[in-house]
Amino acid sequence: MYNLLVASNDGAWELLAYEFDRSRFLEGTAESLRSRFAKLDTISIEDLKSFPTLFAYEGKDKVVHVGYIRRIRERAHSTLLVEFEFDEGIKPFNYSALKPLENRLDIDRWEMSRTHWAVKDEELIEALSSLGLVDPSYVDEGRPAGRVEEMRFKVALSFPDEKRKYVSTVASELKKRLGQGTVFYDKDFTAQLARPNMDLLLERIYRNNSDLVVVFLCSEYEKKDWCGLEWRSIRNIIKNKNDQALMFMRFDSAEVSGVLSIDGYVNLEEITPIDAVRLIVERVRANVF
């Protein structure tokens, strides 16, 4: 998905904040997406911030930038203030370069003549890469698009490093089936995780930003510091009785604090990584959030 933000006044995207009339929000957006984002609740705001965004002007001969929305605030008089920043790795280009992509990106012919904010169910970065407007590394396997703290994941994987060989195969196959940027696997975010207070970041990812957390339980799991931090967020999910957001997989029968004998799990001693992927995808598709 991506956001299409169109402004009328020249220089609007040079100010790093722009105010839309609330009535212009979701114009040019499919009805199914309108119902999803119309309320602008916490989850929908975080989703919108995770999508790459085209910042354009009315008319088809003006410069276009690519970046991300960083903050959305509803204000008096039915307006929305949007704070944003451009992706420094993507050079701005003239809208005319997008002409071959208008149909693929679901941009209607009238949209560039009206100030509005649309949400499109299309892959912006892949489309731009196809015309050489974005470096291919942006869509290569393993390169997620977006800031990890603002992304929404279909699956997050929690595991000890001793089981990385098995889990890396699971992660790779999941990305093929669910799409790039939908799976939280730590090695895909090495640069973004190299920061202070990573415990708070991991809590946000596992507790708030992931639809399904797959936990790979084993004798090593509870001994690892980072697994312990992840486990605190996972136990909070259990406490809130959000059972559909968790999936346990076991390499062995070792006890892990907080896991009961009555809790269901997948026995990984009996299946291959590809089989595990099929089961995870089945859960993702069966879950309703």
pLDDT digits (tens, 9 = 90+) for 92-115: 999 999 999 999 999 998 999 999
Please count the structural domains in the chain: 2
Distance separating alpha carbons of residues 148 and 167, to the nearest angstrom: 20
Structure tokens at 35: 């119902």
Mean pLDDT of 36-49: 87
Residue 191 has pLDDT above 90, yes or no: no
**182 vs 104 pLDDT, higher one:** 104
Residue 208 has pLDDT above 50, yes or no: yes
Question: For residue 270, what pLDDT band results from cuts at 50, 70 and 90?
Answer: confident
133 and 158 both lie in a single domain: no
How many other C-beta atoms lie within 10 A of the C-beta of residue 271? 14
106 and 156 both lie in a single domain: no
Domain interval for residue 178:
149-286
43 and 90 both lie in a single domain: yes
Residue 236 has pLDDT above 80, yes or no: no
80 and 175 both lie in a single domain: no
Residue 258 has pLDDT above 80, yes or no: no
pLDDT at 142: 46
Q: Is residue 144 part of a domain?
A: no
pLDDT at 77: 84
Mean pLDDT of 38-52: 85
In the listed set 118, 138, 158, which residue is the last one of a domain according to the structure?
138
In the listed set 71, 105, 138, which residue is the last one of a domain according to the structure?
138
164 and 277 both lie in a single domain: yes
pLDDT at 227: 66
Confirm if 127 and 105 have CB atoms less than 8 A apart. yes
Residue 172 contacts by C-beta under 8 Å, 6 or more apart in sequence? Answer: 141
pLDDT at 141: 46
Residue 282 has pLDDT above 60, yes or no: yes
Mean pLDDT of 264-279: 89
Measured CA to CA in angstroms, residue 102 lies from 6, 24, 51, 65, 96 at distances of 14, 20, 18, 16, 10
Lowest mean pLDDT across 32-36, 96-100, 212-216, 259-263: 259-263
Sign of the torsion formed by the C-alpha atoms of 140, 194, 173 and 49:
negative
In the listed set 138, 162, 184, which residue is the last one of a domain according to the structure?
138
Question: For residue 137, what pLDDT band results from cuts at 50, 70 and 90?
Answer: low
pLDDT at 155: 94
Q: Is residue 234 part of a domain?
A: yes
122 and 153 both lie in a single domain: no
Q: Is residue 45 part of a domain?
A: yes
Q: Domain of 245: which CATH number?
A: 3.40.50.10140
Question: For residue 151, what pLDDT band results from cuts at 50, 70 and 90?
Answer: confident
106 and 44 both lie in a single domain: yes
pLDDT at 106: 96
159 and 270 both lie in a single domain: yes
What's the whole-number average pLDDT of the chain?
85
19 and 128 both lie in a single domain: yes
**69 vs 288 pLDDT, higher one:** 69
Question: For residue 139, what pLDDT band results from cuts at 50, 70 and 90?
Answer: low
Q: Is residue 276 part of a domain?
A: yes
